[in-house]
């Protein structure tokens, strides 16, 4: 038997519905923030990621899927979304669009060759946003607020925002020199990777997973101590906008992020979820003002954020968040003979085109088996097509909630179902009616609560 590749997952059934629900919330939120969807290729020229993400990063040096295609071209499966968006921004001359800044979001598959573990796969789905063309500190705060609001809308309760600043080029240079001077006498106590990073990019040492608990790293100089006045003022403005937006945050000088293109604001967002483990970061990002220029475009200030959909879904499941997912069909059509089956095919088609969720029998089960299938599908209504009823232009409809049965004229069936289903939808089904202390996430008035939730 051929099995799925290590670090890849099949997503189906109820889990797939959770994924699709998260996608729906993302799309709705992006519309409110006025971000446009962008889709870039799954594979790009290897040079894009080596130049953009950075040769010294783990993503490029250890985790990227690089290969040579049949035309002899070096290509890489995208390990992250920002570099591809920037390439598209340059290639399609979006910087010339009078509508500035360019605000886009993506939601797609990424690939990283790393050791698979809980919440970390070789094939992952990542959602991200980018603002290209704005250096305003308010855009940094907007990206952070967007991420926080997404997690809250999905029902995650304990969200923690950690922010830091790497400063501008001058500040980063001063900080780099401080790190070199600090790490030089301790270099032999660091891992092999860190010793290599010391020569190429000492800032990457701070992001080392092997030496994370090493006292040398814990006592290393902090970025905030090397910010020049301009960078410090800018960071204060970001904080001011976050406070205006009522986004709670903490300054964490240990955040440097693992990608080389960041400068100024960097941030990570944690979800305090039992069972999530020590690595509870579900989203992160920052400002990257030099990347467009580095990849051959005009000097363009940018800021962005990304979050793994798999980690969001895992957090929702661990938190046991009740989501308003439709796990039922409106009507299940049943039949006994061939003529009734043909009418079931016709009626299902008509009702589906009218907007109803309809299913019917496809495996020639007996009527008893069809009733069981209707129950498995949580059918709100069932209909056993009967040749005698059909001759009278009628059908018998059963409400599976009340167990009431009615004979309905086919001429008014659509109106009947629409009215009955609308009355069902008025009731809140996203919380536990047996435990009215649960939080309601549907946004409609719930009859088991004293007020609108």
Give the pLDDT confidence of 115-137 residue by residue, as tens digits. Answer: 777 767 889 999 999 999 999 99
Q: Could you tell me where the beta strands, DSSP code E, fall in 55-172?
A: 65-68, 74-77, 102-111, 123-132, 159-165
Give the pLDDT confidence of 49-76 residue by residue, as tens digits. Answer: 887 665 555 556 568 889 999 999 999 9
For the record, the structure tokens of 98 come out as 């009078």
358 contacts 346 by C-beta, under 8 angstroms: no
What is the bridge-based pairing of β-strands 65-68 and 102-111? unpaired
- Per-residue pLDDT at 54: 59
- Per-residue pLDDT at 115: 77
155 contacts 441 by C-beta, under 8 angstroms: yes
Residue 414 has pLDDT above 50, yes or no: yes
Among 143, 130, 158, smallest CA distance to 267 is for 143
Q: Which CATH class is domain 13-168+228-318?
A: alpha beta
Instruction: Give me the residue spans of the domains in the chain.
Output: 13-168+228-318, 331-425
pLDDT top residue among 249 and 52: 249
Residue 191 has pLDDT above 60, yes or no: yes
Cα gap 134→103, rounded to integer Å: 10
pTM above 0.75, yes or no: yes
Mean pLDDT is lowest, of 44-48, 55-59, 255-259, 388-392, for: 55-59
Residue 277 has pLDDT above 70, yes or no: no
Cα gap 380→332, rounded to integer Å: 8
Q: Counting beta carbons within 10 angstroms of the beta carbon of residue 209, is it exposed (0 to 12), middle (13 to 18) or buried (19 or more)?
A: exposed
Cβ-Cβ contacts under 8 Å for 223 (sequence gap 6 or more): 164, 165, 166, 167, 171, 175, 253, 256
- Per-residue pLDDT at 57: 59
Cα gap 180→374, rounded to integer Å: 68
Q: What is the DSSP letter of 119?
A: T
Q: Which CATH class is domain 331-425?
A: alpha beta
17 contacts 126 by C-beta, under 8 angstroms: no
Q: What is the DSSP secondary-structure string of 240-281? A: HHHHHTT---EE-TT---S-TT-EEEEEEEEE--TTS-S--E
pLDDT top residue among 204 and 223: 223
- Peptide bond preceding 319 in cis form (omega within 30 of 0): no
- State what percent of residues in the chain have pLDDT above 70: 89
Determine the angle formed by the axes of helices 309-318 and 13-33, rounding to 10 degrees.
110
């Amino acid at each position: 038997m051929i099995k799925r590749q290590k670090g890849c997952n099949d997503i189906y059934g109820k889990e797939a519905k959770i994924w699709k629900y998260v996608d729906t919330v993302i799309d709705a939120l992006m519309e409110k923030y006025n971000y446009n969807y962008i889709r870039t290729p799954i594979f790009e020229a290897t040079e894009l990621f080596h130049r953009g993400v950075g040769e010294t990063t783990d993503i490029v040096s250890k985790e990227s899927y690089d290969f040579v295609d049949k035309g002899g071209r070096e290509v890489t499966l995208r390990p992250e979304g920002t570099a591809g968006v920037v390439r598209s921004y340059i290639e399609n001359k979006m910087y010339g669009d009078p509508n500035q800044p360019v605000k886009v979001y993506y939601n797609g598959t990424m690939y990283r060759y790393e050791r698979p573990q809980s919440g970390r796969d070789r094939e992952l789905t990542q959602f991200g946003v980018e603002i290209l063309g704005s250096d305003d500190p308010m855009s940094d705060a907007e990206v952070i607020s967007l991420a926080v609001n997404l997690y809250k809308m999905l029902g995650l309760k304990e969200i923690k925002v950690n922010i830091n600043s790497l400063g501008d080029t001058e500040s980063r240079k001063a900080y780099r020199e401080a790190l070199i001077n600090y790490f030089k006498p301790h270099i032999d106590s660091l891992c092999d990777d860190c010793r290599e990073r010391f020569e190429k990019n000492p800032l990457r040492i701070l992001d080392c997973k092997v030496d994370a608990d090493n006292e040398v790293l814990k006592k290393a100089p902090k970025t905030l101590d090397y910010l020049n006045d301009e960078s410090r003022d800018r960071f204060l403005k970001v904080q001011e906008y976050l406070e205006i937006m009522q986004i709670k945050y903490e300054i964490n000088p240990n955040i440097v992020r693992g990608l080389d293109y960041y400068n100024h604001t960097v941030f990570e967002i944690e979800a305090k979820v039992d069972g999530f483990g020590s690595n509870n970061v579900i989203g992160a990002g920052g400002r990257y003002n030099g990347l467009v220029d580095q990849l051959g475009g005009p000097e363009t200030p940018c800021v962005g954020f990304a979050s793994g959909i798999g980690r969001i879904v895992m957090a929702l499941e661990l938190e046991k968040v009740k989501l308003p997912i439709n796990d039922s069909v409106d009507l299940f059509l049943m039949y006994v003979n061939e003529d009734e089956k043909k009418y079931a095919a016709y009626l299902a088609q008509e009702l589906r085109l009218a907007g109803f969720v309809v299913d019917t029998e496809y495996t020639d089960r007996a009527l008893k088996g069809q009733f069981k299938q209707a129950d498995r599908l949580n059918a709100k209504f069932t209909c056993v097509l009967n040749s005698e009823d059909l001759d009278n232009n009628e059908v018998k409809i059963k409400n599976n909630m009340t167990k009431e049965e009615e004979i309905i004229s086919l001429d008014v069936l659509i109106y009947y179902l629409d009215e009955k289903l609308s009355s069902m939808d008025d009731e809140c089904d996203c919380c536990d009616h047996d435990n009215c202390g649960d939080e309601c996430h549907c946004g409609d008035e719930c009859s088991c609560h004293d007020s609108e939730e």
